[in-house]
Chain A
């Protein structure tokens, strides 16, 4: 028996495991395929699809470059403002919650309770929060800001906690060994470690919030979603095209910029 054959025989044999998983996946696949009903599809779908594509190819340029309050440019700026303010408020609110759910800082029961609260906050869809806040502030971008702040908290604190739990404690020990006060330890030992990470997480969340903010308009919480759904419901495909183009370009730009910023932050 050559060395190669020996090595081959040493390979773990998990064929049964893989087979079982594949069979389960197949069953799940067939089970989930039962939910699809093709009857609702009719020939008008194809026409609408071609209309949408035509609309995107010949967008309503007036709307796209219109600088008034109903133009795409203004709506996009409003969407950015909602996402930006929401991210700032959310990331401030998330800091205390993150420390409360870090198991190396507070007792385990408190950390566990906070974690469950965060899961609950994270799971409720943004649209539901939007509807709740509209009751508080009336329709408009303000409701969107509050919604974004609340929905950001869940994910931000979860990522913050990971950063906090990875803190390098040895730095703090060496600082106390040379006689630093608690404040100095926090200022020079903890803040520099966490700041870049937190900032990077915030930028990432801003990226996501921008997408969510674009959707919030569907319930009347400001941003570009409302004009989009109005235009679609009245079959004005050229307007739909210009709104979609504006949205995609904006998100692409923000995506590229935030990726650049985050790599710079992480590399220091």
Chain B
């Protein structure tokens, strides 16, 4: 389409042959991006003057957060542990449930195209729902509390790990699987001995990575009433008790930092 409007440049080589060079698309792409930026500025009401005028307000809250109230720390342990437990339980169950889901969705093991297609579609719908939205729905169904948060994390982990896992299963070397099946072993045995060893390290590493991210998500789930440290965060912000908020954020950053380092250590070992 583009090449028909802007005809390719013709270059005559010294030996008389004519070659055509396609015109670059960069001006077109840049124009597209510029238009989108202008439209977005229009829609969102982006206002540089306002920003220049009041940007220091942002640091007012940070200023009020320091120094954090250390006395608040003893009240924090319970919810913080709740957050970690929620993300741990949700990630563990989600990663386990992702295995059958991924097997159903991978078209080289499930020969039935319909089942594979439906499973893939369900996984991608689950993945599109932001965790906070699914947590919000879960609080309506399971009541306020950690159960709702765990369900939300479980669903996200299931979808995320499931998707990466079925992509890996579809890319494995099927030779061993067929050989084992031809020797008369059942499909499950063939899966266990031919495919599991190929995907296991990657599966574990994906699950760990997902757990890492889930801790961060779990921290805000309390905002919609799904338990954990987010509840306190919401409370602190609502009452404008910013030193407490600072303390919560500090502990959160430290926790996430520790968990990220532990998980990175194991992920490096797996590869």
Contacts and interface: CB of A to CB of B under 8 A. Distances in A.
A46 B219 CA distance: 27
A41 B124 CA distance: 28
Interface of B: 33, 36-37, 39-41, 43-47, 50-51, 54-55, 57-58, 60-62, 81-82, 84-86, 88-89, 92, 124-125, 128-130, 132-133, 136-137, 140-147, 150, 216, 219-220, 223-224, 227, 230, 233, 237, 245, 249, 252-253, 256-257, 260
A78 interface: yes
22 contacts: A31-B85, A32-B86, A34-B85, A35-B146, A36-B147, A40-B145, A119-B256, A120-B253, A123-B249, A124-B252, A125-B216, A125-B252, A127-B223, A140-B44, A142-B45, A142-B47, A142-B50, A146-B51, A215-B132, A232-B137, A247-B133, A248-B128
B57 A135 contact: yes
Contacts of A15: none
A31 B89 CA distance: 9
Interface stretch (A2-10, A58-66, A80-88, A177-185): A80-88
Interface of A: 25, 28-29, 31-38, 40-42, 45-46, 48-49, 52, 77-78, 80-82, 84-85, 88, 119-120, 123-128, 131-133, 135-137, 140-142, 144-146, 211-212, 214-215, 218, 222, 225, 228-229, 232, 244, 247-248, 251-252, 255
A205 to B, nearest CB: 14
Identify the interface centre among A29, A82, A127: most chain B CB within 10 Å of its CB. Answer: A127
Identify whether the interface residues of A are mostly helix, strand, loop, or mixed: helix
B124 A255 contact: yes
A99 B237 CA distance: 35
Contacts of A131: 61, 237
B35 to A, nearest CB: 11
A125 B219 contact: yes
Given A125-B216, A228-B133, A232-B136, A85 B44 contact: yes
Contact of A84 (B36, B50, B54, B57): B36
A24 B103 CA distance: 27
Contact of B44 (A33, A35, A78, A135): A78
Nearest to A222: B44
Given A142-B50, A248-B128, 16 more contacts: A36-B89, A37-B147, A40-B147, A49-B141, A81-B44, A85-B41, A88-B33, A119-B253, A119-B256, A128-B237, A131-B61, A132-B58, A132-B61, A142-B45, A244-B129, A248-B129
